[in-house]
């Protein structure tokens, strides 16, 4: 029996080539049209400097799945130009709810799931975050497109009908 050995560099290079060559699907779900603008660019949101003076931002990437029926989300925290995973997830159409739904998990194992609705040109995300210990907190995020170059994300913690503002950040095209 003959065994083939591949160097890790060769395998990494081949994987990078395959990833780089993955085409955008020719047909994408029209049901995800309201959030499709997110797939046009990679995005960055600058956050306030940390108390220790380090610069911090979020790098967000939204890509179509190969079958065109979902949008993948992958975010990283970037602290002083060093990236670390933040969250990964998926947006898709739920035909029973007639809504865009999403689910993602952060680097600590917190599960977030919810749905998106359109209100006055905004994408309102209503969701629950379930911590690894099982505790759940309800949130609402209002995503407001700002032309083709940016979008704003306002996040509120839900307490019954009351919404407590948590954060407001502006995402712009990465590298600008």
**Domain containing 55 — which CATH number?**
2.40.128.20
Q: Is 93 inside a domain boundary? A: yes
What letter does residue 96 receive in the DSSP assignment?
Answer: T
Give me the torsion for CA of 121, 130, 169, 20, rounded to 10°.
-90
- pLDDT reported for residue 36: 95
Q: Is 13 inside a domain boundary? A: no
- pLDDT reported for residue 119: 95
The H or E element spanning position 16 is: helix 8-20
Please state the separation of Cα 96 from the chain's center in Å. 23
- pLDDT reported for residue 175: 85
- pLDDT reported for residue 25: 78
Q: Is 155 inside a domain boundary? A: yes
- pLDDT reported for residue 103: 98
Q: Is 51 inside a domain boundary? A: yes
Q: Is 108 inside a domain boundary? A: yes
Mean pLDDT, 10 residues at a time, the chain of 176 residues: 35 37 74 96 92 93 96 95 94 97 97 97 97 97 94 96 95 88
Q: Is 111 inside a domain boundary? A: yes
The shares of helix, strand and coil residues in the chain, as percent rounded to the nearest 5, are 15, 55, 30
- pLDDT reported for residue 125: 97
Q: Which domain holds residue 107?
A: 28-173
pLDDT in tens, 146-158: 988 999 999 999 9
Q: Is 160 inside a domain boundary? A: yes
**How many domains does the chain fold into?**
1
Q: Is 43 inside a domain boundary? A: yes
Confirm whether pTM is higher than 0.85. no
Compute the distance between CA of residue 126 and CA of residue 140 in angstroms, rounded to an integer.
5
Alpha-carbon distances, residue 114 vs 44, 80, 103, 128, 148 (angstroms): 23, 32, 7, 6, 25
pLDDT in tens, 114-159: 999 999 999 999 999 999 999 999 999 999 999 889 999 999 999 9
């Amino acid at each position: 029996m003959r065994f083939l050995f591949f160097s890790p560099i060769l395998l990494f290079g081949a994987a990078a080539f395959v990833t780089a060559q993955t085409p955008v699907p020719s047909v994408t779900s029209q049901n995800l049209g309201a959030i499709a603008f997110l797939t046009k660019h990679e995005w960055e949101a600058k956050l306030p400097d940390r108390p220790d003076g380090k610069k911090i931002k979020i790098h967000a990437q939204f890509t179509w799945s190969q079958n065109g029926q979902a949008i993948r989300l992958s975010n990283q925290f970037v602290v002083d130009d060093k990236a670390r995973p933040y969250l990964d997830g998926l947006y898709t159409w739920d035909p029973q709810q007639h809504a865009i739904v999403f689910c993602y998990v952060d680097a600590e194992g917190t599960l977030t799931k919810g749905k998106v609705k359109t209100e006055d040109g905004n994408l309102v995300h209503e969701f629950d975050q379930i911590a690894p210990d099982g505790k759940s907190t309800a949130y609402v995020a209002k995503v407001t497109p700002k032309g083709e170059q940016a979008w704003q994300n306002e996040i509120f913690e839900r307490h019954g009908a009351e919404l407590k503002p948590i954060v407001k950040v502006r995402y712009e095209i990465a590298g600008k």
